[in-house]
Structure 1
Amino acid sequence: MFSRKKPPPIKSLIAQGTRVQGDVLFADGLRVDGEVIGDLRSSAEPSIVVVSESAKVEGAVHAAHVIVNGTVEGPVHATELLEVQPKARITGNVHYKALEMHQGAVIAGQLCPAAPLLLEEKPTLKLASNAQ
Structure 2
Amino acid sequence: MFGKSNPKANPPATTNNPVTPAVATTTAEQKGGNRSARIDTLIGRGTTIDGDLTFSGNLNIEGTIKGNLTADNDDSTLILSEQGRIQGEVRVSSMLLNGAIDGDVFANGKVELFEKARICGDVYYNLLEMAVGAEVNGKLVRQKPNDTSKLPPPKAPEPSNT
TM-score bracket, normalised by the shorter chain, equals 0.7 to 0.9
The two structures have a TM-score, normalised by structure 2, of 0.66
Structure with the larger helix share: 2
Does structure 2 conserve the Cα–Cα contact (< 8 Å) formed by 1:7 and 1:46? Answer: no
From the CA coordinates, give the structure whose radius of gyration is larger.
Answer: 2
1:113 aligns with 2:142: yes
Unaligned 5+ segments in structure 1 are: 119-132
CA distance in 2, matches of 1:38, 1:91: 15
The two structures have a TM-score, normalised by structure 1, of 0.81
CA distance in 2, matches of 1:14, 1:48: 14
Of residues 92, 103, 121 in structure 2, which corresponds to 1:63? 92
Which SS does the other structure have where 1:10 is aligned?
A: coil
Q: What's the CA shift for 1:27?
A: 0.6
**Matched AA of 1:69:** N
1:31 aligns with 2:60: yes
Unaligned 5+ segments in structure 2 are: 1-31, 148-162
17-26 vs 38-47, which moves further = 38-47
CA distance in 2, matches of 1:116, 1:40: 20
CA distance in 1, matches of 2:37, 2:89: 21
The count of corresponding residues between Structure 1 and Structure 2 is 116
Runs of 4+ in structure 1 displaced over 4 angstroms? 115-118
Q: What's the CA shift for 1:5?
A: 4.2
Of residues 50, 61, 64 in structure 1, which corresponds to 2:79? 50
Which SS does the other structure have where 2:108 is aligned?
A: strand
Q: What's the CA shift for 1:77?
A: 1.1
- Quick one: higher RCO (CA 8 Å, sep 6+), 1 or 2? 1
Question: 2:50 is matched with which residue?
Answer: 21
Q: What's the RMSD between the two structures over aligned residues?
A: 2.0
Does structure 2 conserve the Cα–Cα contact (< 8 Å) formed by 1:47 and 1:65? Answer: yes
1:41 aligns with 2:70: yes
Which SS does the other structure have where 1:53 is aligned?
A: coil
Does structure 1 conserve the Cα–Cα contact (< 8 Å) formed by 2:113 and 2:131? Answer: yes
CA distance in 1, matches of 2:144, 2:135: 23
% same residue: 33
Alignment deviations for residues 16-36 of structure 1 (CA, whole Å, 9 cap, x no partner)? 000000011101110110010
